Amino acid sequence: MASVAAGYLPILLFLAVALALSGAFVVLPMIISRLTGTHQPNPEKLSEYECGFPAFEDSRAQFDVRFYLVAILFIVFDLEAAFLYPWAVSLMGTGWAGWGAMMIFIAELALGLAYAWKKGALEWE
């Protein structure tokens, strides 16, 4: 029984070191910024900068959906690239069946792009 527990010791040590380092990387900069006086929050630093609209306001407010449409299209074509690289590497092993399956996949994505283009999803005013 002791030998089974001893087998887990390296994993537990690795976990302890990982938790200590990740905790240090999160907590130490906050402590150092408070001690050195660089922690000076102001409205400019606390403003939203990624999504473009305040995070906490009326949830029934209308906003432009085109941003999210472009983001979804980006994710779709990013996934296409993520599938194309492994496919290209393993193409010799998959043969004609793999090639045909990828051509069907690319044709579906091309139809989706043509549909989004026709609907004006890629136009910005």
Question: Which residue type does 22 have?
Answer: S
Evaluate if residue 21 carries a pLDDT over 90: yes
Task: Report residue 37 as tokens.
Answer: 């006086």
pLDDT digits (tens, 9 = 90+) for 24-65: 999 999 999 889 988 888 877 777 666 666 666 666 767 677
> Does the residue 2 lie in any domain?
no
> Does the residue 93 lie in any domain?
yes
Mean of pLDDT values over 92-100: 90
Question: Looking at residue 96, which CATH number applies to its domain?
Answer: 1.20.58.1610
Round the average pLDDT of the chain to a whole number and report it.
83
CA distance 124 to 28: 43
Residue with more model confidence, 82 or 15: 15
**Total domains, the chain:** 1
Instruction: Using a pLDDT cut of 90, give the percent of the chain over it.
Output: 22
Evaluate if residue 15 carries a pLDDT over 90: yes
Q: What is the pTM of this model?
A: 0.47
| Per-residue confidence (pLDDT) for residue 28, from 0 to 100 | 93
Nearest to 119 by CA among 65, 78, 52: 65
Q: CA dist 53 to 43, 49, 50, 64, 75, Å?
A: 14, 8, 8, 10, 21
- 80 CB neighbour count, 10 Å cutoff: 17
> Does the residue 117 lie in any domain?
yes
In which domain, by residue range, is 94 found? Answer: 63-125
- 102 CB neighbour count, 10 Å cutoff: 17
Is the Cβ–Cβ distance between 14 and 21 less than 8 Å?
A: no
| Per-residue confidence (pLDDT) for residue 2, from 0 to 100 | 66
